[in-house]
Amino acid sequence: MSQDTVISAKNLSLTFQTNDGPVNALKDVSLDINRGEFVSFIGPSGCGKTTFLRVMADLEKPTAGKVTVNGVSPEEARKNRAYGYVFQAAGLYPWRTIGGNIRLPLEIMGYDKAAQAERVKQVLELVELAGFEKKYPWQLSGGMQQRASIARALAFDADILLMDEPFGALDEIVRDHLNEQLLALWKKTNKTIGFVTHSIPEAVFLSTKIVVMSPRPGRISDVIDSPLPAERPLDIRDTKEFIELSHRVREGLRAGHEAE
């Protein structure tokens, strides 16, 4: 753990007690995430990738091991409003406009009116939704709603962004476009991003670090530092490096599967 470590997990385990007996959602997971990294968590369902993200966000409590976020416990980090969280569904409140939804965390955190208006305008531009401030969520497409929910997570000063399969429900073309936008946004804002996905191309395209996970018990089977350059146009996906990296991720996923 160096000075640049933002999130650090040591021998993390989480067991859910269910009616069918205990389920090992996470077992002995250790990982360091550095400032400014874009880390993807990839694996089949049940590998604990979402649970891992939720532990970082203090939405789940680990049963063993230790996690720190910004050097403190996840609970303290949550209370310091250290991260923005993007869920699988946009989850915008239908009684609030897009602007009102983005204003929601700002109101709760006590930003004054002028700061609220300025930040709403700023993040709407960032996700290319300027002009949609007064629209209601149900008047927007699924992709636009998800962009608004990202804007909501960006509106306040958290330097960590945790995203749980944010584009999972969107079609391929919209997803490509949002991936490009997300990369640009990450470069502009310098945030540390934790990103859960089950798409190999998405993980390879976005990440500086790919964490391959496998199920039963949920654990890390491979951590890959991406050799791809920082500048990534969409057609980088046809390069040899990209294909090789995808291949390695696929191998990692397969190895995890066979070890069962």
Partner 1 sequence: MRGQATRMQKIALPLGFGLLVVLLWEAMVRGLDIPLAILPAPSEIADRFAASTGTLWIDFVQTVIKGALTGMLIGTLTGFAVALLIDRSDFLRRGLLPVASFMAALPIVGVAPIMVMWFGFDWHSKAAVVAVMVFFPMLVNTLAGLGATDLMQRDLMRTYSATHVQSLIKLRLPAAMPFIFNGLKIATTLALIGAIVAEYFGSPTRGMGFRISTEVGRLGIDMVWAEIVVSAISGTVLYGLVALVERWVTFWHPSQR
- Stretch touching partner 1 by CB under 8 A, among 52-60, 112-120, 222-230, 247-255: 52-60
Cα–Cα distance for residue pair 88/164, rounded to 1 Å: 6
Encoded one letter per residue, x for contact with partner 1 by CB under 8 A and - for no contact, window 19-48 reads: ------------------------------
User: To the nearest whole angstrom, how small is the minimum distance from the Cβ of residue 164 to partner 1?
Assistant: 10
User: To the nearest whole angstrom, how small is the minimum distance from the Cβ of residue 146 to partner 1?
Assistant: 13
Cβ–Cβ < 8 Å for 40, 206: yes
Cα–Cα distance for residue pair 25/240, rounded to 1 Å: 35
Question: Between helices 142-154 and 172-189, what is the axis angle to 10°?
Answer: 20
User: To the nearest whole angstrom, how small is the minimum distance from the Cβ of residue 194 to partner 1?
Assistant: 13
User: To the nearest whole angstrom, how small is the minimum distance from the Cβ of residue 96 to partner 1?
Assistant: 8
Cα–Cα distance for residue pair 57/110, rounded to 1 Å: 21
138 sits near partner 1 (criterion: CB under 8 A): yes
User: To the nearest whole angstrom, how small is the minimum distance from the Cβ of residue 121 to partner 1?
Assistant: 20
Q: Give which of 171, 169, 242 is closest to 203, Cα–Cα.
A: 242
Cβ–Cβ < 8 Å for 128, 160: no
136 sits near partner 1 (criterion: CB under 8 A): yes
Q: Where are the alpha helices (DSSP H) in 49-112?
A: 49-56, 74-79, 98-108
- Which residues, numbered 72-131, are part of the site for partner 1 (CB under 8 A)? 78-79, 81, 83-85, 87-89, 91, 93-95, 104-105, 107-109
- Whose Cβ is closer to partner 1: residue 33's or residue 249's? 33
Sheet holding 64-69: strands in order across? 21-34, 5-18, 64-69
Residues that bind partner 1 (CB under 8 A): 57-59, 78-79, 81, 83-85, 87-89, 91, 93-95, 104-105, 107-109, 136, 138
